[in-house]
Amino acid sequence: MAKYLIDANLPYYLSLWNTDDYIHLNDLDDSWTDEQVWDYAVENGLTIVKKDSDFSNRILLKDPPPKVIHIRFGNMKIKEFRERLISVWKDACEISETHKLVNVFIDRIEAIQ
């Protein structure tokens, strides 16, 4: 059963997300509004993984579920993105279990309970 909902703007073919723990928005409906994505994550107990700040702002005003992992690397080549994400992903997931928002920066991880 999936734990994480990966946003359509994030790489679809990333080996890190090629397990049953992940579902990509492209596999559901990449035309959904933010509200539909949010509601789906709530109904299915999923943590939303996004690169956009819209859900980070929303989660600050609401209690989970859902939780949000906000990847804040900025623009970079896909190889660099993949390498950096792989190096911090386990920590980001562990932190998200106890925090409603996890911000993953290029040089650090910050979390808000």
pLDDT tens, position by position, 37-75 = 999 999 999 999 999 888 888 888 887 789 999 999 988
Q: Which residues pair with 112 in a beta bridge?
A: 101
Residues of the chain above pLDDT 70, percent: 100
pLDDT tens, position by position, 1-51 = 899 999 999 999 898 999 999 999 999 999 999 999 999 999 999 999 999
- Give the largest Cα separation in the chain, rounded: 34
How many structural domains are present in the chain?
1
Structure tokens at 61: 């005003």
Alpha-helix runs per DSSP H in 45-77: 54-61
Using CA atoms in the order 40, 45, 51, 56, what is the torsion angle rounded to 10 degrees?
100
Q: Which residue segment(s) compose the domain that 98 sits in? A: 4-112
Q: Which residues pair with 5 in a beta bridge?
A: 23, 48
pLDDT tens, position by position, 79-109 = 999 999 999 999 999 999 999 999 999 999 9
pLDDT the model gives residue 53? 87
pTM, two decimals, is 0.94
